[in-house]
Amino acid sequence: PTNEAEVEVFSVPSYACQRRTTLENRNTVLTDALSLLAENAELSAEEGRGVAFRRAAAVLKVLPEPVTDMTQLRGLPCLGEHSLRVIKDILENGASSEVESTKQSERFKALKVLTGIFGVGAKTADRWIREGIHDLQQLKDSRPTLNRAQRAGLEHYDDINQPVSKAEADAIGQVVEEAVAAVLPGAQVTLIGGFRRGKLSGHDVDFLITHPEEGREVGLMPKIVSWLESQGFLLYQKTTRNSYLESEDGPARPCSNMDRFERCFSVFKLSEDEKRRAGQTQSRHASAEDGGRKLWRAVRVDLVVSPISQFAFALLGWTGSKLFERELRRWAGHEKTMSLSSHALYDGTQRTYLRATSEEEIFAHLGLDYIPPSERNA
């Protein structure tokens, strides 16, 4: 639709879960700027501001053309005063002064470097910064007490901060398949997270594991981890029981089979061997040139085990994007009086749990058009 001035005017529904967001983005200059401000807010314990910037960026991601004029943004949802100011600055001056000064700020740079250590969150990084620690050298010199995750994070810092390719994700997928087949034949492995949404690289690789027979998945995670450990694939792992009682609000918790839901944060050792076996690199023999060259890399891998009865909810909940998930839960609560988690969907009006064996059914329960994973890149 066009208005009198022949300026393209776009119409966009307000919840990200009502929209189809592919990886094609005609407004990366604007969305990168808003995402950086979102990241800065999140790293500064300003979650509300972070979400506001994420929502604004997500709206721009679905526009079919690059924005060239502020009038094109009239009537669009989620664009607050602050985000509009940033966009205007970029359209008029080629850059946003706030984004540029944030990028340059010592605090932001330090927060990025320190939270780049696996196991270090914004709170820890903030404490270190207040103690005068701004980079890895200063951190190492000050010999702080680090937990096991942080020690592994520091040791494999460069590898973990290097993006994971789809080919590497697939090679790890083959190893996980092998582990699962060895400890519980018939169990199924599904690639989730960003790679399921079609991304070509990621910060980690995420897998969801289940078994078609309810209950067979009980105790599975420790067996998978033991197998991987015995084969030398794990540089670090921490398995936690489902943290869903503590971490998620609302009544979306079916009380049976709660402790069957487990996750494992790990750092994987991916060697050239696995990549070769996955058919991705030319077959070659170790040579003198390999002397001193590292023939493996560390990769962050997340594993989740779910009972088949909760599989659709886990699949939907772990495919992301994070904003898409947040918007699904907001839609459920605010528009439907329902409570959605990665375990269940509770209908507050009927006071009952709504069953689903596929993502399509969950969208239908929520009164939403089905959005496939490749269009959940909000």
Question: In the bound complex, what is the minimum distance in angstroms from residue 247's beta carbon to ligand GTP?
Answer: 6
- Nearer Cβ to Mn ion (302/335): 302
The answer to whether 182 and 209 are in contact (CB under 8 A) is no
Tell me: does residue 254 bind ligand GTP (CB under 6 A).
no
Tell me: does residue 153 bind Mn ion (CB under 5 A).
no
The answer to whether 206 and 302 are in contact (CB under 8 A) is yes
Q: From residue 108 to residue 127, what is the string marking binding to ligand GTP with x (rule CB under 6 A)?
A: --------------------
DSSP per-residue string spanning 46-74: -HHHHHHHHHHHHHHHT-SS----GGGGT
The 3-state DSSP class for residue 292 equals: coil
Sign of the Cα pseudo-torsion (216, 219, 224, 227, in order)? negative
CA distance 144 to 354: 48
**What residues between 337 and 356 interact with ligand GTP by CB under 6 A?**
342
Total number of residues that touch ligand GTP (CB under 6 A): 14
Q: Which stretch binds ligand GTP (CB under 6 A): 3-11, 60-68, 198-206, 345-353?
A: 198-206
Q: Say whether 259 is catalytic.
A: no
Which residue among 50, 119, 173, 193 contacts ligand GTP (CB under 6 A)?
193
Bridge partners (DSSP) of residue 61 are none
Which residue among 50, 173, 307, 320 contacts ligand GTP (CB under 6 A)?
320
- Nearer Cβ to ligand GTP (111/301): 301
**What residues between 195 and 224 interact with Mn ion by CB under 5 A?**
202, 204, 206
**What residues between 158 and 197 interact with Mn ion by CB under 5 A?**
193-194
DSSP per-residue string spanning 233-249: -EEEEEEEE--HHHH--
Q: Which stretch binds ligand GTP (CB under 6 A): 16-24, 126-134, 201-209, 281-289?
A: 201-209
Tell me: does residue 206 bind ligand GTP (CB under 6 A).
yes
Q: Say whether 159 is catalytic.
A: no
Q: Select which of 89, 170, 302, 347 is catalytic.
A: 302
Q: What letter would DSSP give residue 19?
A: S
Cβ count near 299 (within 10 Å):
25
- Nearer Cβ to ligand GTP (207/233): 207
Name the region of 279 (left: φ>0; alpha: ψ -120 to 50; beta: rest).
left
Alpha-carbon dihedral 135, 138, 143, 145, rounded to 10 degrees: -30
Which residues contact Mn ion (rule: CB under 5 A)?
193-194, 202, 204, 206, 302
Catalytic site residues? 204, 206, 302
